[in-house]
Structure 1
Amino acid sequence: MKEAFMTLPWWVRWIAIPTIALAVFGTLLIGVITWLIGMLFRVLLFAALVAILIFVVRKFTSSSSSGGGW
C-alpha cells in the first residue's frame, strides 16, 4: 500500500487526497468543532452563573447577619 501511495505524483498526495478527505469528512469535523466550542461556552456560562449566585448569597447573608436583628 505504501509503495502504491509513494508512486503517485506529489500533487495527488499533497493536494488531491487531502481535498477529497476534507470534502468527505469536512461536515463531521465542523460538527465536532462546533460541539466543542458550544460545550466550552456552556461550561464558562455555568461557572459564571455559579460565581454570581455565590456572590449574591454572601452579600445578602452578610448584610442580614451583621444587623443583629434576631
Structure 2
Amino acid sequence: MDKLLKSLPWWVKWIGIPVIALIVFGTLIASLVSIVIGLLFKLVVFVVLVGALVFVVKRVTSGGSGKKRDW
C-alpha cells in the first residue's frame, strides 16, 4: 500500500483521495457533526438552566432570613 501511494502524484494523494472520501462519506460526516453540535447546544442550555435555577433558589432562600427582599 505504501509503495502504491508513493508512486502517485501529490495531487492525487492530497486532493483526489480526500475528495472521494468526502463524496462517499459526506452524509455520514455531516450527520455526526450535526449530532455533536446538537449535543453541545443542549449541554449549554442545560448548564444555563441549572445555573439560573441555583441563582433563583439562593436568592429566594436568602431573602427569608430577615433580609429585605427586592422582589
Q: Provide the TM-score with structure 2 as the length reference.
A: 0.78
Aligned-partner Cα distance in 2 for 1:22–1:63: 58
- The residue number in structure 1 matching 2:4 is 4
- C-alpha displacement at 1:26, in angstroms? 1.4
Alignment of 1:26-37 (within 5 A): 26-37=26-37
- Could you say which residue in structure 2 is the equivalent of 1:58? 58
CA RMSD of the aligned region, Å? 1.5
Structure 1: 5+ residue runs without aligned partners?
none
Instruction: Number of aligned residue pairs: give it.
Output: 67
Q: Which runs of 5+ in 2 are unaligned?
A: none
Give the equivalent residue in structure 2 for 1:23: 23
Could you list the runs of 4 or more consecutive aligned residues of structure 1 that deviate by over 6 angstroms after TM superposition?
none
Q: What are the Cα deviations for residues 26-67 of structure 1, in whole angstroms up to 9, with x where unaligned?
A: 111111111111111111111110111011111111112326
1:11-34 deviation line (CA, Å, top 9, x unaligned): 322222111001011111111111
